Structures are given as structure tokens and as C-alpha cells.
Structure 1
Amino acid sequence: MLKQILASVGIGKAKVDTLLVTDKLKAGQPFDIEVVIQGGDVEQQLQGLEFAIMANAKTEAVLGESEVEYNKSVILQSWKQTFSLSIQPGETVTKQFTLDLHPEVPATNLFGHRIGKVWLQTGLDIKSGLDASDKDGLIIDPSETQLAVLQFVSDSGYSLFKSDIEFGRVQAHDFISHLPCYQEYEFKPQSRGLFGARELEVTFVDNGNETGVLIEVDRAFLGDGYRSTAIPNSCKTAESVRPYIEPLLG
């Protein structure tokens, strides 16, 4: 199996490579990584490894009398693997770990197109302190339930315009998000009447058993309206999500 290098960093005299073992990633599912630590020309005492799933999220700040949009890095999940290891000059040590992606981690791949930036940050904890590694993005596919909803919306006369990762949380009648950011899919109608929707914004909150769907509908002269539902994750086709999504689009 070809292993993708996620991060490579030199800390002190040691070099650390983090490789992705699992081929395809989905939120809410485990994935395997392999860490290869190569000793340098001096002996080093290693105290552990740290990992964090991070994302670039869009946020706003007030600058003078106007609002400015910018991207900020946010930590979605983190783990610390502690151990005590003395690595000798030229020695190679390999460790494998299984990590679990949170169900709400944003997707970064949709039908072969990159739609967001999420990565695994790796650090090596040594006595002189923690140094962070370089970062390389993870390719994460949406869940089958999310894909079914996106497909149904597309089949209902809307075209996906863009997708953003937004800083903040989502709350609806049936669900609430837990990560510091959420993913938003923006659709525009293929044709529009005078009072029809000018835009749809679709957001998912997956708790592992069901997926909350929040749809913001922007209509001319009527302003924005919010509608939500929760769909069992056993629904994996456009037809199976129809009873939940069709009323929200009407």
C-alpha cells in the first residue's frame, strides 16, 4: 500500500515523518498513521508525540467601520501519545497509531474537487519543548448521507456554487454542533421566479447516528429563512432523503 507523507520535520537532530496508512478518510471513522523517527548524530530522549486535526476556517473581524473576512487555523481534535524513548544516532524507530475523526470534521473532497483545507499537525515532544511539523492536507470525503442530500438538492434545480468552512457553531431545533467550525454548501437556482429562492446554504451536523441538516433559504423580498431536519444515517440515496429534504425546499 502506498503511504502518503503527511508531515516531515526535523527536531533537534532527529527527523520525524508521519505517513497516512488509510487510503480514504471519512468523518466519524478511524484512520491509521505511521510515524518514522530517524535518529540524528546525537542521542536524544523523546517524551512523546502530539497530533491535532486542524482546519482553515473563514471568520470576520471589525476593522474601523467595516468587516474584514480572513482565514484562521483552528484545532478540531487533538491527541497526545506519551512514552519515554532514547533514540541513538542513526537509529530508526517506527510507531503506528489509530486515530478517530470526529463526525463533524469538514469534508475536503467533493467529486474530485478540493473544497476545504483540513490537515493533521504532528509534533515531537522532547525535553527542550514541542516543535510543530509542516502540514499537508487530508483528503476527506463527505458521508453517504451528506452526499445523498447534496445530490437531491442538485436534482431539485440547484447548482453548487461554492463550499466554505466557517468559524463558529450551528444550532437548530433538533441538533447542535460541537466543533469550533462548520461547513457550508452554497447553492444557486438554475432558474428563478420573482419570489423564488436566490440562494440556498446547506450545513450538516453529524452525530454518528443521524445527520442534522440546516438550510438557509434566501428569497427576494422575503429575506432569509432557516429550516432544519435530522436524517438517520441509514439514508444513503437521494430518494431515501427526499421525505426529509423536499419539505425544506418548498
Structure 2
Amino acid sequence: MSFLDKMFASIGIGAAKVDTILANDRLVAGDEVNGRIVIQGGKIDQDVDDIYLKVMTSYEQEIDDKKVHKECVVGKFRLTERFTIKAKEKREVPFSFELPIDTPISYGKTRVWVETGLDIKNAIDPSDRDYIEVHPSPLMSKVFNAVTDLGFRLREVECEAAPFHARRRLPFVQEFEFVPTKGEFRGRLDELEIIFLETNRNYLELLIQVDRKARSIGGLLSEMLNLDETNLRLTITNDNAHNIKDMLYQVIKKYS
């Protein structure tokens, strides 16, 4: 093992490489993520302190009137104890972990990926990025279908930084912005925003923002002062899921 090989490996030339192979890249939050990590040794033996997998996404935060993109670790999973990957050795490490229940959905601008890394001292840590598609849960799908049936179209989906008092585990929320294109609420509302505050397989807590359309001088003044927005909470469970459309209709109608 020459000094040059060690030096080059420390800057990533001729060093170990990592590749993650997912069994399935289309998932629902709460699903098991399965696959294997393939580690290919480089020109020299290298001590690996750790193998980790991180579920990642990005969100926007407004700082000094500018929108800044930030990356966020949704979940991190450590896979192995310290080991040595020999020169030219090929090693496979199987893995399985639960996709965090609050992982955002892959709609609109939202991207979710699994990032794999090896911790190697005194060297650039090799890494790999694999994008996954996170689909809505059955309960979320029922909410989206009900909103569509009420005449709304999904216009935009964004992950945005949440104020401290509104945060849960993650520093952002995923906003689903709908606009009325037909039916009773067309012409009465500007938009409808929905945020899933708490989720699991059997329960959803929704934050709904009803943005009324200005229809008069007073309405325009309210719009300028953001007084035309009403924030509401609604709880959906498996027990009342059959009635989602009517529940949403009553809430939206009351405040539109």
C-alpha cells in the first residue's frame, strides 16, 4: 500500500464506493424500505466507522425576503458496526427500515431521496443518492378525492418552513394548495390550502385554510389585511372516512 494510494484515497481517488439498491422505490409513509448496499473496495484497505441511510427532502424558508432552499433529514438509520473494507473487496449489506410516517408526499416540487454514506476517517466519505416516490396513504387519498369531487384542482404543493409554535417533529410543513374550478365554490373562494398536521395509518389531523374571494370594497380590504383567511382543524379517522366529502363540504361552506 503506497503513500500515494493513501493520499489519493483520502481525496476520493481510488477509494471505496457505495451503491444502494432499493427493492421498491414507490412507497407510502410507514412502509418498510428494503434493499441492499453494495460496497466496492478501492485500491487500499479502508476502515469504515459507520454505514448510514438517511431519508432526505428539501423545503423553502424565507430569509430577508428571499426564499432559501434547505435540506432536511426526515430519518437516519445506522446499519453496521465498524469494519474494514479490503482493497478490491465487494461486500453487500442488506437493510430494512420503516419510512417515517411524516415523510412528505412526492407531489409538485417535493422530492424525497435515500442518501447512503460511509464514514471513513481522514477521507472523503463516499455517498449515494436514490430518489423514491412517496404516495399518499389511503386516508390521504380519500381527502384528495373528496376535495376534487367538490370542484377543486390541485394547483401547487410546497414544503415550507413552519413557525416554531406550529412545528411538529420536522421544521417544515407540506402545503397542498387547491383552486375551485367548478361547482358551488367557484367564484366564492380564491383557494383552499390543506396541511396534514398529524398522520398515521388510521388518523389524520388536517389544518384547512379557506381563502375567501373578495366580492366588495370591504372584501378587498379584508384581502389586503389577510382577514379573508380562516384556519380550521378537522380530524379524519377510519371510522368517519366514509363521510369525508360531506365533512369537508360543511366546513368549506360555513366559512366561504
The TM-score by the shorter chain falls in which range?
0.7 to 0.9
- Find the aligned partners of 1:193 and 1:76 in 2 and give their Cα distance: 36
SS at match of 1:83: coil
Q: Is residue 2:184 matched to residue 1:186?
A: no
- Please tell me whether the aligned partners of residues 53 and 117 of structure 2 are also in contact (alpha carbons under 8 angstroms): yes
Equivalent positions of 1:28-43 (< 5 A) are 28-43=30-45
- RMSD, aligned α-carbons: 2.6
Q: Which ranges of structure 1 fall in alignment gaps of 5 or more residues?
A: 1-9
Distance 1:170 1:212, change over 3 A: farther
1:84 match: 82
TM-score norm. by structure 1 comes to 0.81
Return the offset for 1:25. Answer: 0.9
What is the percentage of aligned positions where both structures have the same residue?
30
- Please tell me whether the aligned partners of residues 25 and 132 of structure 2 are also in contact (alpha carbons under 8 angstroms): no
Distance 1:233 1:93, change over 3 A: farther
Pairs aligned (count)? 228
Return the offset for 1:235. Answer: 6.2
2:27 match: 25
Equivalent residue for 2:116, pick from 119, 122, 126: 122
Q: Which ranges of structure 2 fall in alignment gaps of 5 or more residues?
A: 1-11, 223-227
TM-score norm. by structure 2 comes to 0.79
2:225 match: none
Distance 1:61 1:115, change over 3 A: closer
- Find the aligned partners of 1:160 and 1:50 in 2 and give their Cα distance: 36
SS at match of 2:19: strand
Distance 1:160 1:170, change over 3 A: farther
- Find the aligned partners of 2:209 and 2:70 in 1 and give their Cα distance: 24
Q: What do the CA deviations read for 1:50-97 (whole angstroms, capped 9, x no partner)?
A: 2211111011011xxxx1223211122112234122222221110011
Equivalent residue for 2:73, pick from 72, 75, 86: 75
1:217 match: 210
Distance 1:234 1:86, change over 3 A: farther
Return the offset for 1:100. Answer: 1.2
SS at match of 1:103: coil
Distance 1:79 1:169, change over 3 A: farther
Q: What do the CA deviations read for 1:95-132 (whole angstroms, capped 9, x no partner)?
A: 011111111110105xxxx5411111211012226626
Amino acid in the other structure paired with 2:59 = A
Equivalent residue for 1:205, pick from 185, 197, 220: 197
In terms of fraction of residues, the more strand-rich structure is 1
SS at match of 1:107: coil
SS at match of 2:130: coil
